[in-house]
Structure formats: C-alpha cells, structure tokens
Amino acid sequence: MEIKKEVLLRYLKGTSMTGGASLNECVINFNEDGLQIQATSGVDAINICSTLSKDAFETYVPIEKVGIGEVSSLINAIAWGNDYVTIEREPGILILRSRDNLETTKYNRVFHYSTKGIEYITNELEKFNTKTGTVEFDIDADKLHGFFDRIGLVGGSYIDLTVTDNELLMKAKGHHGIMETIEIEGLAGNLSVRFGKMLTEAVRQLKGNIHIRLIENFPIQIENKDEHMSIRLIVAPTTIEE
C-alpha cells in the first residue's frame, strides 16, 4: 500500500502525543476501512481512539493487526523517506519503501499483539453518550498551544478550564500564574475542571480545529479531525490542590 508521507506522519504524531503522554507501543489495525489505533498512554491517564480512512491512501491493502513496539521509531523511519511511502508486511517486519525504491527501511519492532484494553476504551468513549451536563465547543489548536507555551507547566502544575456563557477561562499555575479568556459564541454552561501537564502533552501535535467535550469532575474528550482522519483523546483530570 502507498500513502503520502506527510498525511501518515500527521496522523501518527497526533495519535502518539509527546512527553509523559507519549504512546510507546500499540496495535495498528489495517482493517477494511483504513487504519485504527485504540490504546492507553500516560500511565493509563489517556485513552486513544483514532482512525485514518483508506481513502487517504494512494493504494490500500488491509493487512490486519500489527503490534508496534516503539511508535517513535516507526515515525522516524517513515520521516526518513521521500514524499510517498509504501508499506509492506512480512512475518515480524514492516517494510517501508520510498516511491523511487532507493530508500528501504525494515521496521522490526513488531510484536505479538493483544486486544486487551480495546473493549475498555470503547466503553470509556460510550460513557460520554450517557452523561448529562456536557459542554461542547470548538477551538483552534494554535490558541491552546500558545497558552500552554506561555505558562510553562512543570510537575505539580495545573490548568483550570472554566466555562461560562460565551467564554472559556483558562487559568494555570506553572512557572508563571496566568489567566486567559477566549470568547466562544454560543458557549453555555457553568463548570470547571482541573487538568495537569498531561493535557498539554496530549494536544501538542494536534493541528487545526479541536472539538472539546467537558463534564464536571470527568475526563475531557478531545477530537481532531479532517476529511480522512479522526483522533479522539480522553484525558483524565488531576487531583492537584491549590
């Protein structure tokens, strides 16, 4: 199968996150509809469910489930080639080949996978459909990145996300205490949820529009999608006190 390198990299980077939230190993399911990853990360503080449609590929073959033992190494191997990458599977190996066939990488960090945890993640996603008091809104990823960059979160830091009518208040304690208010037309509600540094690391690689679902004293659901890709992250709140 073949895909444009930048499309695959955006999907994998967004799914794998950064820092303490990083996804180290996972099962990639090349099913009939495209790629799917369901996993946990960040010491089980983050649940991940992402898809990349087969329509994003130049050519596509459903090679089924592949266990990836080091996601960052797979990303580096893909980034090494030219604009297009061909993916082939052999026992215990993924072969990544550039379109000109001059650059070939054998990715051998493939392991025997287990589907343990996938049912749990699906159940966690379904919980959002049964909860009341949900507040949903869209925000540009650059606004979140800019705020997180300014506060410089460290261990023991936190971010309070507070929703009022037409406003999202972000208050943080990091290297610097800082508050920022973003006007969001149509936003309604009255709730506040506190998150740790893990939230900033979870969203760091996301680009464009982010859809957020907030519930009082409940994990945040973050969705980043385009025509062919969907990345959903569930990040647990923190219990850090003032």
Beta-bridge mates of residue 67: 27, 111
Lowest mean pLDDT among 83-87, 130-134, 142-146, 206-210: 130-134
- Averaged pLDDT for residues 100-105: 61
Which pLDDT value is given to residue 60?
A: 97
Is 90 exceeded by the pLDDT of residue 61? yes
Give the DSSP letter string of 59-95: E----EEEEES-HHHHHHHHHTS-SEEEEEEETTEEE
Which pLDDT value is given to residue 194?
A: 92
Which pLDDT value is given to residue 155?
A: 60
Q: What percent of the chain has pLDDT over 70?
A: 82
Lowest mean pLDDT among 3-7, 17-21, 49-53, 78-82: 78-82
Q: Residue 221: enclosing H or E segment and its boundaries?
A: strand 220-225
Where exactly are the structural domains of the chain? 2-121, 132-235
CA distance 96 to 132: 46
Average pLDDT, the chain: 85
End-to-end CA distance of the chain: 52
CA distance 194 to 241: 9
CA distance 68 to 73: 9
| CATH number of this structure's domain 132-235 | 3.10.150.10
Which pLDDT value is given to residue 156?
A: 65
Q: What percent of the chain has pLDDT over 90?
A: 46
Which pLDDT value is given to residue 178?
A: 82
Which pLDDT value is given to residue 149?
A: 83
Lowest mean pLDDT among 91-95, 178-182, 234-238: 91-95
Lowest mean pLDDT among 57-61, 120-124, 181-185: 120-124
- Averaged pLDDT for residues 100-122: 56
Is 70 exceeded by the pLDDT of residue 127? no
Whether 2-121 shares its CATH topology with 132-235 is answered yes
Q: Which residue has the higher pLDDT, 76 or 127?
A: 76
Q: Could you give the 3-state DSSP secondary structure of residue 240? A: coil
Number of other residues whose CB lies within 10 A of the CB of residue 223:
18
Q: Residue 237 is encoded by which pair of tokens?
A: 């709140």
pLDDT tens for residues 142-199?
999 988 887 776 566 788 999 999 999 998 876 567 888 999 999 988 999 999 888 9
Q: What residues contact 196, with CB distance under 8 A and at least 6 apart?
A: 153, 157, 158, 159, 238, 240
Is 60 exceeded by the pLDDT of residue 112? no
Confidence band for 130, pLDDT divided at 50, 70 and 90? low
| CATH number of this structure's domain 2-121 | 3.10.150.10
pLDDT tens for residues 211-233?
999 998 889 999 999 999 999 99
